[in-house]
Amino acid sequence: MDPDAKNMSFHRNGEVCYLTFPSFEKYPFVHHAFSTRYGGVSRNQFSSMNLGLSCGDERENVLENYRRFCAAAGFDFSTLVSAAQDHHTFIRRVGGKERGIGVVRPRDLESVDGLITDEPGVTLVTHYADCVPVFLLDTKRKAIGLVHAGWRGTAAKIAAAAVGAMRRAFGTEPGNLIAGIGPSIGPCCFEVDFPVRDVFLKLTELRPAEFIREAGGGKSRIDLWEANRRILVQAGVPESGVAVAGICTECNAEWLFSHRATGGRRGSLAAFMALTETGGADAD
């Protein structure tokens, strides 16, 4: 039986399984996917579709996982560009000359938590194991972005930083964007101490009391999905254009990697997004 994908579509191609947003699938000029643990060759805590090269897994296993995932989900392995994530807000524009960086070529920059492009044939890749993936698509300019938003990045409004970067780079109008907030640790499980809570309480323009609840014992639970949704809307993305997966990685650690559920002994999921070579007419 397939796992409950809630507000995303669950796909199975052979042993490889992945998720997509229905709202993105109506646009023929973009291809996207979010991985699961299914269909790879990694073993033990990395079982089996580990896509993180810095987790301690064997490199050749990870590269084989990339090959299998790309073949099953319809991406060109030679076009991958990976971020170098460390919970900051730098957004990098990439193109054809960056293809391979972070996967088959060494990283050339650190502290990159978001990638954007308007070039077809470049596949953006970002990694997760509880942090929030944010997919962005400019439906008019045909440009895309992927953002890694941990709690620090969320509090620093990295999703809004990506909207701003796309505006500067491509002339993106926020009203033409759609967004997807992918699987990550949910409000059911993201329990923090008061110092972290207090960081979010300072974001008064987001009305944080509405997405923070006290859990007792000096703990609070924060809804990072709702925080990122509000940040995107505040940045000009239409409310109707923001899809929230509603899938908690910690609750679903049997088929999604979760740092908290495993005490850090885990692999990494990945988000993939590319503009197609052929393009197509704008969808309504």
Q: Distance between CA 150 and CA 181 in Å, rounded?
A: 12
Token pair 């944080």 in the structure block, residue = 208
User: Residue 121: CB partners within 8 Å, gap ≥ 6?
Assistant: 76, 79, 96, 99, 274, 275, 277
pLDDT for residue 279: 46
Nearest CA to 253 out of 241, 242, 264 is that of: 264
Q: Distance between CA 59 and CA 46 in Å, rounded?
A: 12
pLDDT for residue 109: 86
Q: Which tens digits make up the pLDDT trace of 221-275? A: 999 999 999 999 999 999 999 999 999 999 999 999 999 999 999 999 999 999 9
Which domains, and CATH codes, for the chain?
A: 9-185+242-275 (3.60.140.10)
pLDDT for residue 280: 43
Please tell me the pTM assigned to this model: 0.97
Residues of the chain below pLDDT 70: 1, 277-284
pLDDT for residue 194: 97
pLDDT for residue 2: 84
Dig out the tokens for 261 from the structure.
């559920």
pLDDT for residue 35: 98
- Check: CB of residue 165 under 8 Å from CB of residue 175: no
